[in-house]
Amino acid sequence: MPPRRTFGRTWWGRAWVEALEQRARLDPNRLPHGRTYARKDTVRQLEVAPGKITARVRGSRPEPYRVTIRMREFSPREWDTLLDVAGRRMGHAAALLDGELPEELAAQSREAGADLLPGPGDLRPRCSCPDSANPCKHVAAVYYLVADAVDADPFVLFTLHGRPREEVLSRLRELRAPGVTKPARPPDPGLTPKKAYARRVAAVPPRPVVPDEPGPPAVLDLDPPARTGWTSAGLTTLAADAASLAWEMLRGVPADLTFEEDLARRAARPSAAIPELAAAAGIAPADLTAWAHAWREAGRGGLAALREPWTPGPGPLAQARADLAELGETRVWRNRVTAGPLQLRYGRDHRWYRFVRTAGGWWLDGPSAERPVELAYPAS
């Protein structure tokens, strides 16, 4: 038996359903019938417009019932409040553009008096069926199917309160434009020391699991002004790289990368256009290819071993020469010990890196090790 159809895959979709079931004061006896109708795929031609939902719902009669649900639209003052909350942080608008509704934004807007979710009296349904209940099962079915639309695009909640996506985004851009005077907010009185120390300390939340891959950036609807020299595509590329770097930092990549290290990191990505990166950085594509390979194999230490000769003390080099003795004559130059087609390099991080000779020069061959013997005879 297939699993029962649920409504609300995202937290904001579930919040819509919970608001219907707990806050909007609808007839609780009718909602289960509406869920059943929604699961039976009886709703057709569902459309969401500013302040209104319309749909056709198949019932017991041959002709589908016409359902119209009006939702209370925000007043101009409520819209100012909501947009002020949404515009305070760049992350709120970015999350919305990325198809997500931040819980903080929803909570702050509710506290400010511009609740995005329906409350008592906000929904005014009409159905062409003879049932006078609020809601009838046809209206309830539409309510639940709207959760799918809210899941797919949280801007549906803004639309239901009277303003479509494009108008909301346009106003947010205006509010964030330089020189725009924003309405003053009353100062935060803060907490007295006595109240602060009296507050109960909450448990530290668990650390979120690092995702398997970085998420895609939001796509800008419009290009920046021409005078800036930027395009939406260029900004999207930078945003994607920033997301990738943040993800890599969560997985252990250091945050204080040099220009060369960051260039190697970017070139190491599977989708990197190495010729274009090399041209922009002013280095040879072959060199950047080697940098990218070293970064993939051993990160910062591998790149340093590839690029930076230095002179360590004699002890580590003597040990490496002894470990390579069975391979034949060895030569030492600064931090590098070479025996035929094999070369071990001692890094400033006190680790050893194995390089092999290729037609294009020395090529890093795998991750680092604490002792040279581990690299001289890796299969032993």
Spatial separation of the C-alpha atoms in residues 177 and 335, rounded to whole Å:
54
Q: Is the pLDDT of residue 66 over 50?
A: yes
Is the separation of the CB atoms in 260 and 307 below 8 Å? Answer: yes
Its pTM stands at 0.48
156-174 per-position pLDDT tens digit? 999 999 999 888 888 877 7
12-33 per-position pLDDT tens digit? 888 888 888 876 567 677 778 8
Spatial separation of the C-alpha atoms in residues 52 and 316, rounded to whole Å:
76
In angstroms and rounded to an integer, the radius of gyration of the C-alpha atoms of the chain is 31
State residue 1's pLDDT score: 46
State residue 136's pLDDT score: 87
Q: Is the pLDDT of residue 379 over 70?
A: no
State both tokens at 196: 């602060």
